[in-house]
Amino acid sequence: MAAKVQETDNNNTIAGTLSIVLAGNPNVGKSVIFNALTGANADVSNYPGTTIDISSGKLGLHDIADTPGVYGISSFNDEERAARRMILEAQVIVNVVSALTLERDLFLTLQLIDLQKPMFVVVNQWDEALARGMEIDLEYLKESLGLKVFACVATASDHKGLDEIKESLIAARKGIRAEETTLAIQKLKKAIGAEKLATTDDARLLMLAEDDSTTFADLGLEPASTLDGTPLALRPDIYKARRAKVDEIVKACVKQRDAARPFSYHLGKFLLHPVFGSAIALSVCYFIFYQVLGVWIAGNLVDLTEKKGMKVYYEPQVRRLAAFVFPARITIGDKVWDLPQGTQKLDETSRRNLDADLAAHPLDQADYDFWHYHDFMGAIGNILVGPYGLATLTVTYLLGLLMPLVVGFYLGLALLEDSGYLPRLAVLVDRAMNKMGLNGRAIIPLILGLGCVTMATITTRLLTSRREKIIATALLGIAIPCSAQLGVVSGTLAAAGGLKAWAVYGTIITLILGTSGLLLNMLMPGKSMPLMIDLPPMRLPRASNVLKKTWKKSSGFLLDAVPMFFIAGFAVTIAQMSGLLDLMMRVLAPIVVHWLLLPADPRIPTTFILGIVRRDFAAFGLTDVALTPSQAVVAMVVITLFVPCIATVGVMIKERGPKIALTIWFGSWIAAIGLGGLLARTLPLLGIL
């Protein structure tokens, strides 16, 4: 970030181009404020972890960044490490706190003050505090902290308080550092040696006193510094004094008037009920993932966009145009047209006859074979508009099938996020997650995995321990279908066996997910960390925020998917022309027919091969295959457990290392084929479907 600042004294920073960060606890509205200040489209969510990637923008001439919501800036997890790095490099800190949770938020405020950087405090969600009968003495708060403090309502139409943020940048000050912190730093200097810390700034001295391992490593110091032969252990004293100071401030400046609890409070509490809350959670998941995504979108909408749109109108027209240039054999009913030089070399009479034949049949009933002549131009034509062509099948899957499913999923997820429901879901599932070596917080990457397993693997960074990250990554790679895959799974099951088939599939996948988690929890040393998560107020989702988030995540996913889809289409076309595809299909065919007991349809092994490149492909090819209810469940379970796509494996290698990533990859192969064969023999005997 730019850094051109003039200082008039030890407290005030004025003029120049500033590097500014927004810092605060989760769910205080930092991202809303950031968006309003910069106009950028950063995520605005009601659950921790959304802004783990720092968003940055411009505020006039100044650089401003939105850091992850954290409770402190030590190096306990990836969120804190990301926030710590930006805060230590910043010149001005805008500390955002919630008027509803000052007792929690001011702990971080005092830590930021102890860094001795110019800052001020924005008390957001002021309107909600007033509605709950809370009275906050801002003047007392200002005097206690030694900083400028003012109220803000970032979600209001007039964005109350935002103009004051801009005006307060030149009034940012260093707050009143706690006496206990000053004493701790003096002990630190005595133990390590004042000469070694002579050039260390106040912020990093605090990090050393709080035993921040990253800061010790950055400065080339040993963390186990001692005084008179005993460990320093300064952090407990600093934290104890900080907590006592927060309690003192809150007791003096926050008063609670008698006021009726709003409906959102009672609703939020009701949603946590172990019986009724669980029933509502199941109903919400059923409605979003089966009725909306599976029936309305994957069934009705995709039937319109893909089967009645792209397949009937788009692909035949593209192939018709390509046949003008590229050699092709066109089969129309019982008539065959051999065009070794394309339609451009046809005489006028022949062209009219061909047009008449095409007009006499539905557009999608003309079969174009661009690889019939096995020449260079035919190869180019086959790559572009063949059965797996870049301009035909790839575009059809992206626009006709993938886009509606992805947009539908992210719209539903955005509504859950913006309403404040996701953290409550985390609380509901916490006990079950503990059995799998995780806590309720892990439900966030698992649900995000229903959108994109690649993206969800990245968000496992928000989990605290390496053990939890490995377990969550393994569960994502084995048993979580992505949004496009889930949509096709739901649509296929709804068509083949209805709700009963979908329920059987869901039960099987849930059992596999739970069993995998239990085994990983037993085999891996250690235990899950306790759940620490905020419960924001339940709110009506804001339409503008939901639509922005849906657009951003959907477009980001699609842009990420486009290269892989084109690579997959190209690779499969080359395999088709070289005969490799037929060879692989012949190898897989006996497994598909004799072990999985699926129809002897070449499209089935083809989809499995495609799934290696892009997981979504392992479902799309089965949409037109005639399957019994039992076969549909077996096929959908197999493709769900099947190998993660290349993009996901790449991220797994980057995040967890090649050993763990490849173990998950091969393990999913074994689980998919092995369990699929067992199910194929068990389901018919049970007579469930």
Per-residue model confidence as pLDDT tens digits over 388-425 = 889 998 888 788 877 887 788 788 878 888 888 888 88
Of 413, 485, 418, the closest CA to residue 448 belongs to: 413
Say how far apart CA 126 and CA 153 lie, in whole Å.
6
More confidently predicted of 265 and 678: 678
Taking the C-alpha atoms of 652, 658, 663 and 669 in order, what is their torsion angle to the nearest 10 degrees? Answer: 60
Instruction: Check whether 284 has a pLDDT greater than 60.
Output: yes
Find out whether 64 and 22 touch, Cβ atoms under 8 Å.
yes
Tokens of 82: 């990301």
Residue 605: Cβ within 10 Å count: 23
Say how far apart CA 346 and CA 493 lie, in whole Å.
47
Residues 6+ apart with CB under 8 A from 377: 325, 326, 327
What angle do the packed helices 235-253 and 179-192 form, to 10 degrees?
170
Least confident among 343-347, 565-569, 638-642: 565-569
Say how far apart CA 515 and CA 495 lie, in whole Å.
29
Say how far apart CA 34 and CA 46 lie, in whole Å.
15
Instruction: Check whether 4 has a pLDDT greater than 60.
Output: no
pLDDT in tens, 602-625: 778 877 777 776 666 665 567 677
Tokens of 538: 């339940």
Least confident among 367-376, 495-504, 550-559: 550-559
Instruction: Check whether 344 has a pLDDT greater than 60.
Output: yes
Residue 308: Cβ within 10 Å count: 13
What angle do the packed helices 466-479 and 658-686 form, to 10 degrees?
40
b/e string for 48-73 if b means 16 or more Cβ within 10 A? bbbbbebbbbebeebbbbbbbbbbbb
Cα dist. 93→160, 163, 262 in Å? 19, 16, 33
pLDDT in tens, 289-322: 667 876 788 668 877 888 788 888 899 999 999 9
Instruction: Tell me the range of 102-116, 214-228, 447-461 where mean pLDDT is highest.
Output: 102-116
Find out whether 433 and 443 touch, Cβ atoms under 8 Å.
yes
Tokens of 416: 């859950």
List, edge to edge, every strand of the sheet that includes 335-339.
335-339, 328-332, 366-369
**CA geometry: angle 160, 52, 649, nearest 5 deg:** 150
Bridge partner residues of 55 (DSSP): 66
Find out whether 115 and 203 touch, Cβ atoms under 8 Å.
yes
The SS3 assignment for 525 reads coil
Long-range contacts of 532-535 (CB under 8 A, 24+ apart): 532/71, 532/441, 533/47, 533/48, 533/423, 533/426, 533/427, 533/440, 533/441, 534/25, 534/26, 534/27, 534/48, 534/101, 534/104, 534/423, 535/268, 535/272, 535/420, 535/423, 535/424, 535/427
Say how far apart CA 588 and CA 602 lie, in whole Å.
10
Amino acid at 492: T
Fold of 1-260: Rossmann fold (3.40.50)
Say how far apart CA 69 and CA 306 lie, in whole Å.
41
Mean pLDDT in residue range 432-438: 88
The counts of H helices and E strands in the chain are 32, 15
Bridge partner residues of 226 (DSSP): 231
Kindly give the residue spans of alpha helices, DSSP state H, lying in 524-645.
543-578, 580-590, 603-613, 617-620, 629-641
Length of the chain: 689
Instruction: Check whether 49 has a pLDDT greater than 60.
Output: no
Mean pLDDT in residue range 353-375: 89
Residue 163: Cβ within 10 Å count: 10
The pLDDT assigned to 236 comes to 85
Mean pLDDT in residue range 229-254: 84
Mean pLDDT in residue range 54-73: 82
Find out whether 638 and 441 touch, Cβ atoms under 8 Å.
no
More confidently predicted of 538 and 482: 538
The SS3 assignment for 221 reads coil
Say how far apart CA 428 and CA 530 lie, in whole Å.
14
Q: Which helix (H) or strand (E) holds 511?
A: helix 498-523
The SS3 assignment for 150 reads strand
Give the rounded percent of residues in the chain with a pLDDT score beyond 70: 87
CA dihedral over 387, 389, 394, 399, signed as positive or negative: negative
Write down the domain spans for the chain. 1-260, 397-686
DSSP strand E in 280-357: where?
328-332, 335-339
The pLDDT assigned to 285 comes to 76
More confidently predicted of 99 and 689: 99
The pLDDT assigned to 52 comes to 54
Instruction: Check whether 677 has a pLDDT greater than 90.
Output: yes
pLDDT-based confidence at residue 519 (cuts at 50, 70, 90):
very high
The SS3 assignment for 319 reads helix
The pLDDT assigned to 224 comes to 56
Say how far apart CA 331 and CA 339 lie, in whole Å.
11
Instruction: Check whether 283 has a pLDDT greater than 80.
Output: yes
Mean pLDDT in residue range 222-226: 60
pLDDT in tens, 190-212: 888 777 787 788 888 888 888 87
Q: Is 687 left (phi over 0), alpha (psi -120 to 50) or beta?
A: left
The pLDDT assigned to 45 comes to 45
pLDDT-based confidence at residue 281 (cuts at 50, 70, 90):
confident
Residues 6+ apart with CB under 8 A from 140: 249, 252, 253
Tokens of 126: 């002021």
Chain-wide mean pLDDT for the chain? Answer: 81
Tokens of 228: 């008179």
Say how far apart CA 172 and CA 21 lie, in whole Å.
12
Mean pLDDT in residue range 83-97: 89
Bridge partner residues of 93 (DSSP): 21, 119
Instruction: Check whether 43 has a pLDDT greater than 90.
Output: no
Of 178, 187, 185, 182, the closest CA to residue 243 belongs to: 178
The pLDDT assigned to 23 comes to 92
b/e string for 74-112 if b means 16 or more Cβ within 10 A? bbbbbbbbbbbebbbebbbbbbbbbbbbbebbbbbbbbb
The SS3 assignment for 337 reads strand
Instruction: Check whether 226 has a pLDDT greater than 60.
Output: no
Of 276, 257, 256, 279, the closest CA to residue 266 belongs to: 276
Least confident among 164-173, 360-369, 608-617: 608-617
Say how far apart CA 649 and CA 644 lie, in whole Å.
6
- Backbone Cα Rg of the chain: 30
Mean pLDDT in residue range 334-340: 90
